């Protein structure tokens, strides 16, 4: 007989925070989070200083998987151009899911409006790292202005994510041609 370890209270709270804040927004109450996790408020406050800290921890917990989904492996032999396009192909695939509501890191920043909120700081780091990835690939590919191209690419990434999240742009086939035009204009190889 095999017994699987049950998720800890901490793991259940992180999962509940990730799920409920993505579905309902960051203003979800502590009672709802604790109920979904099957954890008392007392236990939650023993594990996390505040709901804000719980939200930040849940975003941080998911960041690695998010990046792994979006980015090609570091030892992959694609050209910088192909590596950038890969990110947008992955983003389009994620956006096609029926429950997609936008990039969770962008959504949190928009909803919180406070750049110093612990969850906003985590989300900002994730987005800054993605921008740095674009910049690095742009530089490796010989872009005429890697900084500008990285900023343009993150703008397209966030804009496409937001539009898909609100179901305003369900017609595929717009993001890749837009990114390709930017890469061509920057002379990226």
Cite the DSSP H helix spans in the chain. Answer: 9-24, 30-37, 41-47, 51-70, 80-95, 104-112, 118-140, 146-165, 175-185
pLDDT of residue 147: 98
> Confidence band (pLDDT; 50, 70, 90) for 169?
confident
- Residues 65-115 have pLDDT tens digits of 999 999 999 999 999 999 999 999 999 999 999 999 999 999 999 999 999
- Residues 24-52 have pLDDT tens digits of 999 999 999 999 999 999 999 999 999 99
Q: Residue 82's closest CA among 72, 97, 68?
A: 72
What does the block give as tokens for 123? 């989300």
pTM as predicted? 0.92
**What share of the chain in percent tops pLDDT 90?**
90
Burial class, 87, CB count within 10 angstroms (exposed 0-12 / middle 13-18 / buried 19+): buried
* Average per-residue pLDDT for the chain: 94
pLDDT of residue 6: 75
Question: For 170-185, what is the mean pLDDT?
Answer: 89
Question: For 161-178, what is the mean pLDDT?
Answer: 86
What does the block give as tokens for 9? 């209270």
Q: Residue 175's closest CA among 89, 111, 60, 109?
A: 89
């Amino acid at each position: 007989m095999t017994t699987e370890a049950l998720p800890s209270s901490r793991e259940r709270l992180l999962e509940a925070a990730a799920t409920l804040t993505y579905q309902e927004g960051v203003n979800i109450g502590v009672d709802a989070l604790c109920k979904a996790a099957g954890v008392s408020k007392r236990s939650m406050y023993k594990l996390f200083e505040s709901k804000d800290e719980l939200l930040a921890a849940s975003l941080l917990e998911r960041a690695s998987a998010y990046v792994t989904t979006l980015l090609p492996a570091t030892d992959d032999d694609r050209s910088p151009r192909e590596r950038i396009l890969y990110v947008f192909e992955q983003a389009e695939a994620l956006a096609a899911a029926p429950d997609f509501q936008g990039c969770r890191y962008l959504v949190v920043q928009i909803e919180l409006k406070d750049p110093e909120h612990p969850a906003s700081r985590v989300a900002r780091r994730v987005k800054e790292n993605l921008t740095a990835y674009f910049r690095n690939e742009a530089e490796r590919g010989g872009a005429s202005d890697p900084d500008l191209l990285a900023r343009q690419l993150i703008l397209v990434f966030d804009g496409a994510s937001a539009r898909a999240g609100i179901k305003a742009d369900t017609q595929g086939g717009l993001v890749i041609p837009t990114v390709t035009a930017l890469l061509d204009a920057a002379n990226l190889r």
